[in-house]
Chain A
Amino acid sequence: MNKLNPILLIGIAFLIVLLFLSFIGPYLPFVQDNLDKKHFIKDSNNNLLVPPLPPSDKFIIGTDKEGRDLLSVLILGAKETLGFILFISIIRYLISIPLGFLASRDKYIYNILILWNRLFTYVPTFIVVLLISFIPFVLYSSSRLLLMIILIAFIEVGNAALIKKELFAQVRKKEYVTSGIVIGTRPIKLFLKYFLFPVRKQIIVHFTFDIGRNMLLLAQLGFADIFITHVIKQNETGSWVWFNNSNNWPILLSDSLLFIKTAIWIPLWTALFMSFTIFTFNLLGEGLKEYFTKKA
């Protein structure tokens, strides 16, 4: 058994903290589960206060703009947010691994991947996601959430597949692959056992880094007031409005410019939770990389 290195250990510890927050966090005593939206809050002298309220004894890190305890909102939203970033990475890798494999065989697919990668790097990625989210077919779709996740996954597929192409191209040079082809292994078995199995460690490392990057992208989208969860409803005047009924972290970043001036604790703590997540996955990735290279 190989010794765990300190970076990996810290990464695992942080990951346990994150998982603890998202799964056991909602049952902790200081977390308020009934998160009703209030227009005002009464203090001990029966004065009416308009949220967002600054940090105090009752609200450890303050409240959000709807008068809910910010810490509770962040903890209750952790599971959903982590689920999103994980799901995006899984979809991206399910598409990019076969694509990378094909690109290592076929030069045309390789060129298409390069073009794909270039297309989305010339304009900031989150701007492209913004543009796509305004397309009516996505905006009014009944399964918008799934569509948005697939879209975010797709946009970075080019980059992810190019990394995998390099890995598979190195494997292709090895002699055991030639022998595998010669003895007539079936293509699927050849792909799984001869190509995917030897590079599994590198793919796990890249996957870990990828999860962290997704968090960053979701945060940028949150600043731009685009959320991957929202519902269309009609209000009293008859016009149609979009609003959120979920607690994921990027939602708290909306209207940040206003809140930075008036209630800086909202963007500050939300950004802190997000940075912690990114830091955790980067530590894990870096630690796993060292762990795997030492083993080999």
Chain B
Amino acid sequence: MKLLQNLIRNIVIFSSVAILLIVLVLTPTGLEVYIVDYKMEWSFNWKVYFNNIKSTIYQLIFERTLGGDPNTGILVLDHVKRYSLRSLKIIIPTFIICLIIGMLKGLINYYFEKRFLTIGNRILNIFFISIPDFFILIVLQYLIFSITNSGLIKIDLYGHENWYNVILPMIALSIYPIFYLSKIVYTCIKDEEDNHYVRTAAAKGTRRLWIVHRHILMNCLFIITSNFQKVFIIILSSLPIIELLSAYNGAGYQLMIALKDNNMKLTIGYLFFFLITMTISSCFIQLINHLINSRSLKLNLLMFKSFKLDRTFKR
């Protein structure tokens, strides 16, 4: 039931964001510029603007197409498909790597707490959370430049043609989410540690590894999985800049070009790519959440308690 509710909520949000984006993108169509006395004057034609919005939404719903790109004549759908597949090659592996390494790092931080919680390490953690991804990318490019200039190896850093072009953007994109997720995992376990059931388990002589994995982590999972969405948002929102700086010709790069050229159809197409990826990921993460949390002990206990309370009230 809750899954269905979430699905409806996702659809409502999706359509409202889509309409908002179309309304925003199409505003320059209502602009009329003319020159009076060597000065630029402008006025806004609301009628043209509303007609444009109406026809675009009509086209999307009934004809299921955005038509062709006015400059090249290529169908917007084909254009978006071609470049967004390249972006997905970065997004999906980065997301998976961030989840795995981030959770592992959080666990390692917890196990070797005393070694990791020194002031130096904490400052290092803040440092890695603070440095923007584009700075990491520029520094990496600078380093590789100086290596290639010395003549040791030759690498083509830019473009999308070679398989290793993906690596640099992936490194730049994944550093912040990894540190973010590891911090969440660490604080989560730390908060859970003081609970009675953990102390009982420890007093009974259960091994620490077993306590953390079977007891604490299972109960923390629903907080951790609810942060997966945030990780995805972080990756997706830095994607355009990273693609621009590494000249990786993907959806983010094309979106920036379309925006600069004032190409409204392509802009809408690429914005929809971002919107759809976000919606699919959100549905997927909610599904994972649902599957994991139905097994979570603590949540079941909470639900059981509320169920009992309900019954007593009804009597």
Contacts and interface: CB of A to CB of B under 8 A. Distances in A.
Interface of A: 6-7, 10, 115, 118-119, 121-128, 130-132, 134-137, 140, 212, 216, 219-220, 223-225, 232, 234, 240, 256-257, 260-261, 264, 267-268, 271-272, 274-275, 278-279, 282-283, 286
A175 B238 CA distance: 44
B25 interface: yes
A6 B260 CA distance: 46
B81 to A, nearest CB: 19
9 contacts: A118-B13, A119-B20, A122-B13, A122-B275, A123-B275, A124-B240, A137-B44, A275-B135, A283-B126
B40 A232 contact: yes
A123 B245 contact: no
A190 B161 CA distance: 63
A240 B240 CA distance: 28
Contacts of A137: 44
SS class of chain A's interface: helix, strand, loop or mixed? Answer: helix
Given A123-B275, A127-B271, A135-B27, A268 B131 contact: no
A264 B20 contact: no
Contacts of B75: none
A256 B130 contact: no
A125 B132 contact: no
Contacts of B38: 234
Contacts of A122: 13-14, 17, 274-275, 278-279
B286 to A, nearest CB: 13
A256 B245 contact: yes
Contacts of A240: 40
A264 B138 contact: yes
B25 A260 contact: no
Contacts of A275: 130-132, 135
A146 to B, nearest CB: 19
B132 A271 contact: yes
Contacts of A128: 24
Contacts of A267: 138
A128 B122 CA distance: 34
Given A122-B13, A257-B245, A260-B141, A279 B131 contact: yes
Contacts of A10: 123
Contacts of A268: 138-139, 142
Contacts of A212: 130
A215 B156 CA distance: 31
Interface string B103-142: 0000000000000000100110011011110110011011
Contact of B138 (A7, A216, A260): A260
Nearest to A256: B245
Contacts of B138: 260, 264, 267-268, 271
B202 interface: no
A52 to B, nearest CB: 15
A209 to B, nearest CB: 10
A131 B139 CA distance: 30
Contact of B44 (A132, A136, A282): A136
Contacts of A131: 21, 24-25, 259
A136 B233 contact: no
A278 B130 CA distance: 6
Contact of A135 (B14, B24, B145): B24
B28 interface: yes
B126 A123 contact: no
Interface in B15-63: 16-17, 20-21, 24-25, 27-28, 30-31, 38, 40, 42, 44
A274 B132 contact: yes
A260 B172 CA distance: 16
B247 interface: yes
Nearest to A135: B27
A170 B190 CA distance: 22
Interface string B237-265: 11111001101000000011001101000
Contact of B16 (A119, A134, A283): A119
